[in-house]
Amino acid sequence: MVDRRRFGDLAYWTLVFGLGGLALLILVTPVVVILITSFTSEASLRFPPPDFSLRWYAELFDPSRSRHIHNAAMNTLTVATWSAGVAMVVATLAALWLHRNQGPLGRTADTLFMSPLVLPLLAFGLAALILISMLRERPSLFWLTAGHLVVVAPFVLRTTLASLSQLDQALLDSSKSLGASPFYTFRRVTLPIILPGIAAGTFLAFMASVDNVPVSLFLSSARTDMLPIRLWGMMESSLDVRVAAASGVLILAALVLLLLMERLAGLTRRLS
């Protein structure tokens, strides 16, 4: 009986680690391939590269040769910063309200706030474009930011609500009994406890905005070109190796930010 149980445990863990390793391999292999390809010395995308060179990184950072990429990257960073910043404020206020109102009205509002994660983003992008056309407005960074705000705010809301669920009500009652005002209690008690959750959600919102293609596809224009759309167009038209170099820069930046947020806010713990 004991040997049979040990065999079952061994088979279970072998299956779990085998499937986990396979999933990790599927996720990591394309990243490794694109990183290696970005160092090719050839004028086209080839793997494995015949020779290694920093040629395409130099091309990527050249202000005259890659100005269109730099403009698209600046637009992307501007939209991501504003949408994540506004989402941080709006979603935090919404989370505080939802934490205090957990009845039917609160649950309905929570469902509405989280609905952008369920709605297909292509459908939302098309609907946003139709709305802008009905308002007789043109695509701009303002409307791009508004569109991204809708789809990234749920990330901040969810991590903030998770942090609020760990807030001990006795701390708030003690602060109130000692004569502290609601704002003082929020600033000195509530905010320090939920701040890591807010930071983690804001980071996720920023990364989701940078990587957002469906909304940017409908709401961007020639003047408000976004980096994912620009790289996709370059890859379709000419298989430009600068796409691989730009991907390498994005992978490195995302890794550095991820490690930083893990150290400062415990990102993995906030998402678990």
Q: Give the tens place of pLDDT for each residue, 181-195.
A: 777 777 787 788 888
Contact of 266 with 196, CB cutoff 8 Å: yes
**d(C-alpha 98, C-alpha 140), whole Å:** 32
| pLDDT reported for residue 129 | 85
| pLDDT reported for residue 8 | 64
* Alpha carbons within 13 A on the beta-carbon side of 178: 10
| pLDDT reported for residue 119 | 79
| pLDDT reported for residue 240 | 76
For residue 168, pLDDT over 80 is answered with: no
Helix or strand run (H / E) with residue 161? helix 141-164
| pLDDT reported for residue 3 | 58
12 backbone dihedrals φ, ψ, rounded to 5°: -65, -50
**58-271 topology per CATH:** MetI-like fold (1.10.3720)
Mean pLDDT on 55-66? 83
**d(C-alpha 160, C-alpha 88), whole Å:** 9
| Integer angstrom CA distances of residue 207 from 12, 101, 261, 268 | 35, 30, 12, 15
Give the number of other CB atoms < 10 A from CB of residue 18: 10
Report the SS3 class of residue 257: helix
The 10s digit of each residue's pLDDT in 242-258 is 888 888 888 888 888 87
Quickly state the pLDDT bin for 46 (edges 50, 70, 90): confident
Report the SS3 class of residue 125: helix
**d(C-alpha 210, C-alpha 108), whole Å:** 29
DSSP label at residue 115: G
Q: State the chain's maximal CA–CA distance in angstroms.
A: 75
| pLDDT reported for residue 58 | 84
For residue 83, pLDDT over 90 is answered with: yes
Give the residue extent of every domain in the chain.
58-271
Contact of 159 with 197, CB cutoff 8 Å: yes
Give the number of other CB atoms < 10 A from CB of residue 152: 30
| pLDDT reported for residue 231 | 82
Residues near 109 by Cβ (< 8 Å), separated by ≥ 6?
Answer: 94, 97, 98, 101
Structure tokens at 262: 């893990």
The pTM (predicted TM-score) of the whole model is 0.81
For residue 23, pLDDT over 80 is answered with: yes
Question: What crossing angle do the helices spanning 227-237 and 242-265 adopt, rounded to 10°?
Answer: 150
With the CA atoms of 60, 74, 260 and 121 taken in that order, what torsion angle do they form, in degrees rounded to the nearest 10? -110
For residue 205, pLDDT over 80 is answered with: yes
* Mean pLDDT (the chain, rounded): 81
Mean pLDDT on 153-172? 82
Q: Which among 130, 116, 137 has a CA at the least distance from the CA of 218?
A: 130
Quickly state the pLDDT bin for 4 (edges 50, 70, 90): low
| pLDDT reported for residue 256 | 85
For residue 5, pLDDT over 70 is answered with: no
